[in-house]
Chain A
Amino acid sequence: MSAKVIADALAGTCLISGALLSLAAGVGLLRFPDLLSRMHSATKPQVLGLLLILTGAALRLQNTIDITTLVLVGLFQLVTAPVSAHMIGRAVYRAGQVRRDLLVVDELADDTRDHGPEHA
């Protein structure tokens, strides 16, 4: 077993696991009952799935410039995904599209009761 074969096997495993995570997100997006739980499944290909596939691509390309681009894409995704998820989650809460019966705890409701609705 040469190093190249091992790298290819690792890359294949990474690619298939990333694709499986994307499929899991698709199933969750279609079947989960409300928007907040759908956002939970939506993060799977955005972070872990993408990072796995980028790792697989880096193992296959094995070139400093290409790997730098891949790291850049991964870093950018890691920085932006939480920000956009936060914005969408807050918009969902403000639009009143949260299913209260599925929530375990709602600290934002306590805050808005104590400090006024503009804190939502």
Chain B
Amino acid sequence: MIIVAVTVTVLLSAAVALVLARLVRGPTALDRIVAVDVLLAIVVCAIAAEAAYTRDATSLPILVGLSVLGFIGSVSVARFAPRGRR
């Protein structure tokens, strides 16, 4: 199981680095909110993988809160995104 843990950590860290690059590069608010959505999904994946590795369910309620947070964040940014052509 330790091999799985190391592999998953490396893969998820690489994914987070790529998503952060897109988050910094932008160029618009909508690009960034898509990147933040993916970042949040990867964080949820990482917490669930940690719970799976340690067989410890303490952090599972965080996942419910995080998924609500991501939904509200992306919907509100999309609602108030500027209209009209760039």
- The interface of chain A, by Cβ under 8 A from chain B, is 8, 11-12, 15-16, 18-20, 22-23, 25-27, 29-30, 35, 38-39, 42, 45-46, 49-50, 53-54, 56-57, 59-61, 63, 65-66, 69-70, 72-73, 76-77, 80, 83-84, 87-88, 90-92, 94-97
Contact = CB atoms under 8 A, between A and B. Distances in A.
Interface of B: 1, 3-4, 7-8, 11-12, 14-19, 21-22, 28, 30-31, 33-35, 37-38, 41-42, 44-45, 48-49, 51-53, 55, 57, 60-61, 63-64, 67-68, 70-71, 74-75, 78-79, 81-86
B8 to A, nearest CB: 4
A80 B49 CA distance: 21
B15 A95 contact: no
Contacts of A18: 8, 45, 49
Contact of A76 (B42, B53, B67, B82): B67
Main secondary structure of the interface of A (DSSP, over half): helix
